[in-house]
């Protein structure tokens, strides 16, 4: 609660029994918050993942400190449940530490799946390279079976392009430009493991780059450098 303003008003009662008596009316304006949501976020003050409360505030006219008349809305904020720091709503767009840890292997799985679906899904060297890339991204127990599961999930998916977009957009938030290039090169090497890139594989690599926020020109540069590296 934030007390914005308060006042004391003296009135003279006109009732017969109270003739001449003076009443004090204490009135004021206060903002009351109510929780409209909660979840986990990364609190910059605490320096870690914490519970938050999503709160909406409304100003009230109070009489004797009791809210009587609702007035205007005064906005929403996110409040850390541990340290109490308030943040603008935009703080929820930042990934939590746990999400950051998951985003890299999840992004690599999505990228590997897209490349393998474009070609090489049954090629042993391409599959090996894909598994190594996902393990290198932090998922140490990723194996053939998990890869098959990802490939068939992609076949069953109603919108594979959207699946790729959501996995890579999350990742792009936390990857600096050189790391995006490294990530794309790793995905391209999966496509190169069974020979030169097909048009479909090249298209898939371009799509990965686009979802990471890279321009088509940047993507072509990384793809051709990776091809040269593989040919050398």
Residues that bind Zn ion (CB under 5 A): 43, 45-46, 50, 80, 82-83
Q: What is the dihedral of CA 61, 67, 73, 78, to 10 degrees?
A: 140
Which residue, chain included where needed, has tokens 């934030």?
2
Q: At closest approach, how far in Å is the CB of 80 from Zn ion? A: 3
> From CA 167, how far away is CA 159, in angstroms rounded?
13
Q: 80 vs 114, which CB is nearer to Zn ion?
A: 80
Q: What is the dihedral of CA 208, 209, 212, 215, to 10 degrees?
A: -150
Q: At closest approach, how far in Å is the CB of 58 from Zn ion? A: 24
Q: At closest approach, how far in Å is the CB of 102 from Zn ion? A: 21
Q: 50 vs 58, which CB is nearer to Zn ion?
A: 50
Q: 41 vs 142, which CB is nearer to Zn ion?
A: 41
Q: At closest approach, how far in Å is the CB of 44 from Zn ion? A: 8
Q: Pick left, alpha or beta for residue 105 (phi over 0 → left; psi -120 to 50 → alpha; otherwise beta).
A: alpha
Q: 53 vs 127, which CB is nearer to Zn ion?
A: 53
Give the list of residues 6+ apart from residue 48 with CB closer than 8 angstroms, or none: 42, 97
Q: 78 vs 80, which CB is nearer to Zn ion?
A: 80
* Long-range CB contacts for residues 214-220, cutoff 8 Å, separation at least 24: 214/180, 214/181, 214/184, 218/181, 219/184
Q: At closest approach, how far in Å is the CB of 154 from Zn ion? A: 38
Dihedral pair phi/psi, residue 5, rounded to 5°: -165, 140
Q: Which of 30, 23, 107, 15 is nearest to 62 (CA)?
A: 30
Q: 83 vs 153, which CB is nearer to Zn ion?
A: 83
Q: At closest approach, how far in Å is the CB of 47 from Zn ion? A: 8
């Amino acid at each position: 609660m934030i007390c914005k303003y308060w006042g004391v008003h003296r009135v003279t009662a006109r009732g017969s029994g109270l003739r001449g008596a003076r009443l004090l009316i204490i009135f004021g304006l206060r903002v009351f918050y109510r929780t409209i949501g909660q979840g986990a976020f990364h609190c910059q003050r605490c320096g870690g993942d914490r519970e938050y409360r999503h709160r909406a505030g409304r100003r009230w006219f109070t009489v004797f400190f009791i809210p009587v008349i609702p007035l205007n809305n005064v906005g929403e904020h996110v409040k850390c449940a541990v340290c109490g720091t308030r943040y603008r709503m935009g703080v929820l767009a930042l990934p939590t530490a746990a999400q950051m840890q998951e985003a890299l292997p999840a992004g690599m799985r999505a990228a590997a799946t897209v490349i393998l679906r474009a070609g090489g899904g049954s090629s042993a060297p391409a599959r090996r390279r894909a598994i190594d890339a996902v393990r290198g991204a932090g998922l140490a127990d990723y194996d053939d079976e998990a890869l098959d599961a990802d490939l068939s999930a992609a076949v069953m998916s109603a919108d594979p392009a959207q699946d790729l977009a959501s996995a890579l957009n999350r990742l792009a938030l936390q990857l600096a430009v050189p790391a995006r290039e490294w990530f794309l090169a790793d995905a391209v090497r999966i496509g190169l493991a069974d020979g030169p890139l097909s048009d479909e594989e090249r298209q898939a690599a371009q799509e990965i780059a686009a979802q990471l926020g890279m321009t088509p020109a940047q993507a072509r540069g990384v793809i051709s450098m990776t091809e040269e590296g593989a040919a050398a």
